[in-house]
Structure 1
Amino acid sequence: MIKFINTNKVYIIAEVSANHNGSIERAEAIIRAAAEAGADAVKLQTYTADTMTIPCDNEYFRIKGTLWEGKTLYDLYQEAHTPWEWQPRLKALANDLGMDCFSTPFDATAVDFLEKMNVPCHKVASFEVVDIPLLKKIASTGKPVIMSTGMASLAEIDEAVTTLREHGTSELALLKCTSAYPAPPEEANLRTIPHLAQAFNCVAGLSDHTLGSAVAVGAVAVGARIIEKHFTLARADGGPDSAFSMEPHEFKQMVQDIRTVEKALGTVCYDLTPKQKESKVFRRSLFVVKDMKAGEVFTEENVRSIRPGYGLHPRYLKILFGKKSSFPIKKGTPLRYNNLILDG
């Protein structure tokens, strides 16, 4: 388990990613808005274009079939990266606002940089699940790790988890992730979340790239303890990740819905709540529905199972027929044993 995450409360992460659009003031505004919307943490990304790839425009480095069609990997990362010199300042702001702040390191130098910032944990991106040397470096810090699992096979997840645990990671969370931008809801496969938790004995959650909040809220219902969503001030402002990011009012509503689902999940319980106990009086029971004389036989005409619940249990209706009243009974009287001559 991850100690700084309260497992009785879903941990909700606002992913800043590239939505700062190259402005530290905008990055700070995003963090303030995330705090206002109810996020528990904000997440950054720590890389440069040169730590991710090389400047090359041949066919291998051209992006195809995504929002970033036609760009080279180097150009995309050059545009989208968060300057490292901003990150201590952004972390301090998030902490002042009561949120955790951590990041996704994409190489060993980024891990060292984040360690100097004293981040509470490290995030592993879906694309880096197969980067075994990076996983060993992250694990060596001894910090908790939150790892997304998009694109990874079960065998690859197992290899990554084994690597982390064998090299120093004791607190681990795995996030189900569909690495498409945006991701179709029908590809979310949320039932994988409890399987991840059980298979790897860890906290499990969702890194969500679908539009809207329905998938994230649904994930909580099947057991997600962490939800991560990309966050922007306004999609209309553009940026590499804006099309699949949530605006502040949407994120706030998602947080409220998640908190409601948390309360509703409760525990396995068949005890009556105080409100239910009060409502028991409105269940059905046996009543005299027609004035009766002393000694008159109970029949379908003069006794019915109706609301409210002050009379005998409805299970006795058929047994009652053929018995006689012990005294005159007015219409609207609940039947009790003292109304009856039981020997008929």
Structure 2
Amino acid sequence: MNKVINIKERNIGTGYPCYIIAEMSANHAGDINRAIEIIYAAKESGADCIKLQTYTADTITINCSNEYFQIKQGTWQGENLYQLYQKAYTPWEWQGRLKEEADKVGIDFLSTPFDKTAVDFLENLGVDFFKIASFELVDIPLIKYIAAKGNPIILSTGMGSLGEIEEAVNAIRSQGNENLCLLKCSSAYPAVPDDMNLRTIRHLKDTFGVPAGLSDHSLGSIGAVAAVAMGANVIEKHFCISRSIENPDASFSMEPQEFRSMVNDIRAVEKAIGKVSYQLSEREKGSVIFRKSIFVVKDIAHGEVLTEENIRVIRPGYGLPPKYYEEVIGKKAITTIEKGTPLKWSMFD
């Protein structure tokens, strides 16, 4: 079991920076120039990876309009599956060019294949790793085919029972592939915080011994940032140039400035998480002196007894530590001590 996997010389797992994926999906709205613009904007917005989806309407479903192929609820209510995928797909003839642009700008290129022909296509394109979508979690033949290629796999687990996830993980491992990361996902578009159950990320890690993260379809960045605080190693978020550009995924996608803000928050959270440490930071050291200590609060004459009236525990911290307060009460001063003087051992018997 690998608790750390390697993607393009980048370690993904506990102790390493969160790997952040910008999902283009249908946000190109049928325009290759916009797809290229999205790649550059994703890089500029702090994404580590740009992700596509590799299918056609014919490879993912069939052209049929009976009741089984109608979407009856949610964001795409009233759509026919075949027609929806015709609008949403990324033409395969674009993808070589898009990979070249990603390589040029220095952002990783990933895609989700939805059938064996897409797997072969992406392999020939030189794609180094694969994403498996939540809806394909139960497609064990496809999962085995992908796993047999030996490349790292990021698997979304939306809608999956623990048993179904286990079957998919076992299918990958049956092909000798241990390079796996699991993503918690709420497969609603958009997802709502009540359904996200981010604690599952840690359970996925512990149960399967792999890195885990979040495929986030919720609005805003709270879910993603919270997930990283809870140990997520990967965040995937839909990305667009503008939600005003009509396409099937626009309504739950992030615009560049929102994505950049999310990335900044994630990186800040990672710094805040830090490590287990009880050492003072350099910035803390300057504050130590403002702790409490024992001070003389009334003038004390030589031979006078130290009492609760003439010494107190107050700020700042130049005197004896407060833990000695009860011990020094009743001692006699061996010198005169002015009010406002920090008490020292040398001042009393």
TM-score relative to the length of structure 2 = 0.96
Query: Paired residue for 2:312?
Result: 304
Q: Which moved more, 1:323-332 or 1:266-275?
A: 266-275
Query: Paired residue for 1:233?
Result: 241
Give the CA deviation at 1:9.
0.7
Q: How does 1:33-182 map to 2 (within 5 A)?
A: 33-182=41-190
Give the CA deviation at 1:298.
1.1
Distance in 2 (CA, whole Å) between partners of 1:158 and 1:295 is 79
When the two chains are superposed, the root-mean-square deviation of aligned CA atoms in Å is: 0.9
Query: Paired residue for 1:335?
Result: 343
Q: Secondary structure at the match of 1:43?
A: strand
Structure 1 residue identity aligned to 2:229: A
Identical-residue share of aligned pairs (%): 59
Distance in 2 (CA, whole Å) between partners of 1:304 and 1:225 is 51
Give the CA deviation at 1:88.
0.9
Residue 253 (1) aligns with residue 258 (2): no
Query: Paired residue for 2:6?
Result: 3
Higher normalized contact order (CA 8 Å, seq sep 6+, divided by chain length) = 2
Q: Secondary structure at the match of 2:85?
A: helix
Residue 264 (1) aligns with residue 272 (2): yes
Distance in 1 (CA, whole Å) between partners of 2:100 and 2:18 is 23
CA-to-partner distance for each residue in 1:212-236, whole Å, 9 max, x for gaps?
Answer: 0010000000000000000001111
Q: Secondary structure at the match of 1:281?
A: helix
Give the CA deviation at 1:251.
0.1
Q: Secondary structure at the match of 2:170?
A: helix
Residue 19 (1) aligns with residue 27 (2): yes
Structure 2 residue identity aligned to 1:2: I
Q: Is the 8 A contact 1:149 1:157 kept in 2?
A: yes
Q: Secondary structure at the match of 1:6?
A: strand
Q: Is the 8 A contact 1:141 1:168 kept in 2?
A: no
Q: Which moved more, 1:52-61 or 1:317-326?
A: 317-326
Give the CA deviation at 1:272.
1.6
Query: Paired residue for 2:231?
Result: 223
Give the CA deviation at 1:319.
2.2
Unaligned 5+ runs, structure 1: none
Q: Secondary structure at the match of 1:234?
A: coil
Q: Secondary structure at the match of 1:315?
A: helix
Distance in 1 (CA, whole Å) between partners of 2:122 and 2:176 is 17
Give the CA deviation at 1:332.
1.2
CA-to-partner distance for each residue in 1:72-102, whole Å, 9 max, x for gaps?
Answer: 1000001000000100111111111111001
Structure 2 residue identity aligned to 1:3: N
Distance in 2 (CA, whole Å) between partners of 1:100 and 1:168 is 25
Distance in 2 (CA, whole Å) between partners of 1:201 and 1:88 is 34
Give the CA deviation at 1:71.
0.8
CA-to-partner distance for each residue in 1:262-286, whole Å, 9 max, x for gaps?
Answer: 1111111112222222221111000
Give the CA deviation at 1:316.
1.6
Distance in 2 (CA, whole Å) between partners of 1:238 and 1:252 is 22
Distance in 2 (CA, whole Å) between partners of 1:293 and 1:136 is 88
Structure 2 residue identity aligned to 1:123: K
Distance in 1 (CA, whole Å) between partners of 2:97 and 2:297 is 77
Structure 2 residue identity aligned to 1:262: E
Structure 1 residue identity aligned to 2:172: L
Give the CA deviation at 1:126.
0.1
Query: Paired residue for 1:242?
Result: 250
Give the CA deviation at 1:127.
0.3
Unaligned 5+ runs, structure 2: none
Distance in 2 (CA, whole Å) between partners of 1:190 and 1:334 is 51
Distance in 2 (CA, whole Å) between partners of 1:304 and 1:52 is 78
Q: Is the 8 A contact 1:231 1:248 kept in 2?
A: yes
Q: Secondary structure at the match of 1:2?
A: strand
Query: Paired residue for 2:216?
Result: 208
